[in-house]
Amino acid sequence: MKKDIINILQQCYDPEIPIDLWNLGLIYDINISKAENEQSDIKITMSLTTPGCTMGQHMADDIKNKIKTLEKINNIEVLVTFDPPWTPEMMTDQAREKLGYEPVKKNKTDQKINAEWE
């Protein structure tokens, strides 16, 4: 079911940025718990690109409406947090490329250091 939810999150977009919420790195947690009648409760913790973003409720409602289309869903809750604050480094390389950012360096061996003195 988590894979199905991630697929749905990849169809939910920040209205101000042409990248889906999953690849933007705005989804912090997906919690799936069993409810009555073999159904599941879904709790998604997400952030926004800025605390002043006025589209947070719109994005949360979009997530809820799309997840409701899955079978055996009892309740969906979307919580917005700013801890930790979102940064562009949280985006996937796919999103970074679309927005013109360089890929994130995974470890120190990937970084090139210019050791020449002027």
pLDDT digits 0-9 by tens, 34-84: 988 889 999 999 999 988 888 999 999 999 999 999 989 999 999 999 999
Question: What SS3 class is residue 21?
Answer: helix
Top CATH class of 2-97 equals alpha beta
Residue ranges of alpha helices (H) inside the chain are 2-9, 21-24, 56-67, 93-98
Supply 49's token pair: 């690109």
User: Distance between CA atoms of 110 and 113, rounded to whole angstroms?
Assistant: 10
Please state whether the predicted TM-score (pTM) of the whole model is above 0.85: no
